[in-house]
Structure 1
Amino acid sequence: MEHDQEPLFESDDPHFLHARALSLSVGAIRKAQGKVSPNDFPVGSIEWHAAVEDFANDVLIALLGEPDNADIPPGHFIAKR
């Protein structure tokens, strides 16, 4: 699996650079904690959706600074089939 992909495009836009830095920081922290990455699973699989939700929850924690305000119940966005 390609974990160290270059961005699809380069941008000097400050919003892009901040979002990229946040994503890389959260990814590094998650790796140090032994958490999975969405890149570890096929896109669209149940495991990928769960990893994306968990990653998004960690992004909210990084932004809000309070885990209690950022909890997303596991499987919240996974459509029931």
Structure 2
Amino acid sequence: MDNDDRLRPGHPLYEEAMALELTVRTLRHAQGKKNPEDVLYGSPAWDVVSEQFVRDLYRAMGGDPNALP
């Protein structure tokens, strides 16, 4: 049974998801914000930047980041 709906190369939404992620990274950089790869992985700064990145990504998808926990 081949019912694998995971998002990966070749999936119809994969390119759209990658473009959205790249757009958020580019906008954050233009705004002078850091992206997760700009700070040391696992550090307290990485935790903060990663959370901010996810909130910006959620906003770009049309969500309200203030509604997130």
TM-score (norm 1): 0.65
Q: % of aligned pairs identical?
A: 34
Structure 1 runs of 4+ off > 3 angstroms?
A: none
**Is the Cα contact below 8 Å between 1:30 and 1:36 reproduced in 2?**
yes
CA RMSD of aligned residues (A): 2.2
Shift of 1:72: 6.8
Q: In the alignment, does 2:31 pair up with 1:33? A: yes
Q: Of the two, which has the highest radius of gyration?
A: 2
Provide the C-alpha distance between the structure 2 equivalents of 1:39 and 1:72, rounded to a whole number of angstroms.
26
Structure 2 runs not aligned, ≥5 long: 1-7
User: CA separation in 2, counterparts of 1:47 and 1:34?
Assistant: 15
Question: What does 1:11-26 align with in structure 2 at a 5 Å threshold?
Answer: 11-26=9-24
TM-score w.r.t. structure 2 length?
0.75
Size of the aligned set, in residue pairs, is 62
Matched, 1:47 2:29: no
